[in-house]
Amino acid sequence: MTRFFQESDGDYLALDTATNAPHLRTFGQAHFEGRAAARVGLVGSVCMTAVSRECLHQHCKRVPRARVPAEWRKALGL
């Protein structure tokens, strides 16, 4: 399932919650794979990334898909 977050710098990211289990089994860490801006504020600079649960709690706020601007959804491929 895809979850959307807004980072403290205003950028958005999309995470695949199904990727946490393999990270836990393989590396023993609570990480999620997702898509985020490679450069702060540059919507078109999306890259694949892994984000820790700790980082999400400290620097991000979960937002509903409807609150993610259309340009960000398009850039994130969703």
> Which residue reads 């491929």 in tokens?
77
Predicted TM-score (pTM) of this structure: 0.84
Neighbours of 38 (CB within 10 A): 13
For the segment 47-71, what is each residue's pLDDT rounded down to a tens digit? 888 888 888 999 999 999 999 999 9
Q: Is the distance from CB of 2 to CB of 76 less than 8 angstroms?
A: no
Statement: residue 27 has pLDDT above 70: no
Specify the length of the chain in residues: 78
DSSP letters for 12-36 = EEEEEGGGHHHHHHHHSS-EEEEEE
**Which residues does residue 40 pair with via DSSP β-bridges, in sequence order?**
none
Q: Domain locations in the chain?
A: 2-75
